[in-house]
Structure 1
């Protein structure tokens, strides 16, 4: 983004060594170096024009209202995409536009919301600074403090007793209303508070960070998908940063109290229905660690229906290859079977082909493509407020927690149809009709017959299990799917493989996907590629 680039350049010109790039007349002050830098830039760009800020502000508001995009205008491709669509360079899916004329209550609501979104954006820019740049993180904390009273007033409003008609309901009961909250000042304030907590952490104001996290967890109207992360961090504060140091009797007693608070925080998190699977695993492990430190006996440990202490991990395979050693940076490069350097995933693919598999390196695109093709009419179902312009590659709530709940009946019916074996023809029909349109999650590089073969090898029930995960947690699960998809068309056997080179480790999202696949009785394994002669013993 332009703002990030400008900030980096302005930071760089403060360094004296940069003056060697400019004219011989070197200045000693920062202002002189900045002037020299601007002159050099203008020599490249030629004359430039600065828009009237009031005009820019007007167009930014128009962009927000029309495209329903809270993305900073400099980072948005909405206008470019609309122009390309109008001149026939790209195609968007065909759907019924159901624009919500009352998304914003008034002009003042638009102005307030936009101002708060811009504050959040500025805080996000500051968060890119190194932690050691304390001044930048303190500036970000001060921005939160400036809006802290607004945040507390909002929380007080949410706590007041309300009539049934005024009550702020949860996502399951008010899924469409919940989505509309994304465009309210409350949502923007919640993001500011969330970033304020991060600035407090980066400046080691741990007690203040705890207070901000507690305030975020005290409400269930905004940013429900983040609650797991807030719980995790709050528990860590109790067990580490807010825990007394020392070995005195008093310090040990205070440590025990801090651990008890952390244990209660774990139970509270497990009771929170909005905490996702990945966070549940982390919190469950935190609870067991806390109980060990407190000396809780195994038979007295807390058992909770939502505890997920261990992942179900798949089988592991080790293969060997010759690493290209003159490549120092970036992903590892290996000597391929055809003598051409290749990635670690491509090397593993060669090994699996030697075992009789047909395979592709598809990562997340395979799962998301199958999901969207099978649920195309549901994804683009004309619900109020999610298909507001004809220039959308996805409904506005696609990455929101409300996506599933707004379409639950339709999704559950489609999952049942897939489980019953009705999916191969559907993939072909949608692929043929929609091929080439701009659609989130779909890779048209994957051939239709290949997709149908993979779906057939999976079978209805296992394919339905994968689709259910994406339907309920698309934002979280659109990444982390295994690297390779391997199948044998004759035997109908299918296998997924997550490939790891030397020193690579599984992420929590990858572990979650592996657990889901194992639980769904889908063959999957982790393939470790080791540096060595390919003739070495491999457990193949």
Structure 2
């Protein structure tokens, strides 16, 4: 919010023209642990801004423009790879470039001594050509300035530990490491535009191998890497007459990560989509069902990597030394590599159900290509939806000459009273007149209004650093995965309350209290009456409403759009 709008908001609030929720200010001075952290963050933001400015209006066919974006981003991506200990050994130095200016800008006030601690004095072409020779980062103080964590007893690059959770998830957005991760994503986009898919895969795999930054993007990374492997990196399909996959119980085994594990869910919505495992594994004979919830792996053992040698291959009538044999072998290995990536995605608790549906479709396609037997496949078990009833609604379209001057171009249909209306209102009128329904054309606004009323006390619960001023309509972490993580117990309990039928009381209490003030709150539209909201809640049912509210709670930005127009 700029200074002018802040002053305007303060004046309107003082006159009672604009009312904000009542909450506790939780401003914090612990956002950055040092001046060095601020400098690193600002310098990274400046470089990202230049890259965004350069790439914002680039067409996919503008190879010269994307090459300049790559030249700008790639030096810092190599530094980022060194920071997170990513393997760039297969990344060729395609373009020569001089990175001294970037190094000088990025470390302007960092200090030469701390720079030398990285054993990475400059991002020179020679160091990029042989990145594996770069020494590991050995200065915990320097690492701390990039991840902005004041916990030095653990490696900040590892998955979060209990002590590291003290540093709130959303605050990692204000770190140089977070910005460098966004720059790495920009670099992968440049590789995509330049048709350099192998290099793009290396970047995406490095993004997936780190778990500290931008975990909400992991689903998109998995989907993209699977697409690259199947559409661009997969060798040509060999002749079926020369290819034979041995389909025996012992030859195709369940990956190790799926064996000897019990899948449990801490999600209160225990009837969500489940993971179907192969039904012939003795490891699950003591369980009551072959269905296991996907969202979290509960085990005391260390996670075992998925076994890439998931099956025995036999190339019929081929010499192992022949070119045909090698080609067929490479084809099958590529398919199994993509299959294992899909299995890793299904086991990743950070993926949304929408990403999982895409991954599940990809996995089924791969299993079909490999002719994996049905009893050895892993897939999501989803409730089969009934076919929707198709209804054809006829309306009268208004000629452009008959419209009143200044009317919206969308108002091209005639309503029951002869006036102009939108196509959604025509459909709504059909259901009102023919079936006696009551409805609204609201898109997502009525659903987000229900969410705001049902979760009002949770949205404005005091969490360190999320309420900086008295003029906020939502906490600062509302659009991040930290919103759910920081309030998990309260949200889960509220979901259970809704499922138990207590939602109407929550809606009425908050609506009656805040409607008089017309309080500004994210997602809430006070044009809806209390009866409209309670009627919709009753129509959705306890389980349906709980399901919708849960998805808004875990990812408000991602799930607050794309809903039906009519309710």
TM over 0.5: yes
Aligned pair count reads: 410
Q: Which residue of 2 aligns with 1:415?
A: 495
User: Is residue 2:519 matched to residue 1:437?
Assistant: yes
Alignment of 1:367-516 (within 5 A): 367-435=447-515, 436-485=518-567
Bigger shift: residues 316-325 or 393-402: 316-325
Alignment of 1:312-391 (within 5 A): 312=385, 315-322=388-395, 324=397, 333-354=412-433, 355-391=435-471
Deviations 1:156-206 (A, max 9, x none): 299999976555544998386222111111111111111211121112111
Query: For 1:174, what is the secondary structure of its paired residue?
Result: helix
Judged with a 3 Å threshold, the aligned counterparts in structure 2 of structure 1 residues 241 and 77 are, in CA distance, closer, same or farther, namely: farther
Alignment of 1:27-426 (within 5 A): 81=9, 84-85=12-13, 89-125=17-53, 126-156=55-85, 168-170=158-160, 174=165, 177-245=168-236, 249=324, 251-300=327-376, 302-304=377-379, 307=380, 312=385, 315-322=388-395, 324=397, 333-354=412-433, 355-426=435-506
Query: Would you say the 8 A contact 2:234–2:334 is kept in 1?
Result: yes
Shift of residue 251 of structure 1? 4.6
**In 2, Cα distance between the equivalents of 1:85 and 1:171?**
42
Judged with a 3 Å threshold, the aligned counterparts in structure 2 of structure 1 residues 266 and 457 are, in CA distance, closer, same or farther, namely: closer
Structure 2 residues not aligned, in runs of 5+: 87-135, 141-150, 240-323, 401-407
Query: Would you say the 8 A contact 1:281–1:310 is kept in 2?
Result: no
Query: Would you say the 8 A contact 2:237–2:331 is kept in 1?
Result: no
Query: Would you say the 8 A contact 2:168–2:482 is kept in 1?
Result: no
**In 1, Cα distance between the equivalents of 2:8 and 2:386?**
44
Judged with a 3 Å threshold, the aligned counterparts in structure 2 of structure 1 residues 159 and 261 are, in CA distance, closer, same or farther, namely: farther
Q: Which residue of 2 aligns with 1:22?
A: none
Query: Would you say the 8 A contact 1:96–1:382 is kept in 2?
Result: yes
Shift of residue 214 of structure 1? 0.8
Deviations 1:402-459 (A, max 9, x none): 2112112222332333333333343233223323222111111212232123224444
Query: Would you say the 8 A contact 1:171–1:405 is kept in 2?
Result: no
Structure 1 residues not aligned, in runs of 5+: 1-66, 68-72, 486-540
RMSD of aligned Cα (Å): 3.3
**In 1, Cα distance between the equivalents of 2:548 and 2:485?**
18
Deviations 1:226-267 (A, max 9, x none): 101100100111111112348683555433332221111111
Judged with a 3 Å threshold, the aligned counterparts in structure 2 of structure 1 residues 326 and 235 are, in CA distance, closer, same or farther, namely: farther
**In 1, Cα distance between the equivalents of 2:330 and 2:355?**
27
Q: Tell me the TM-score normalized by structure 1.
A: 0.68
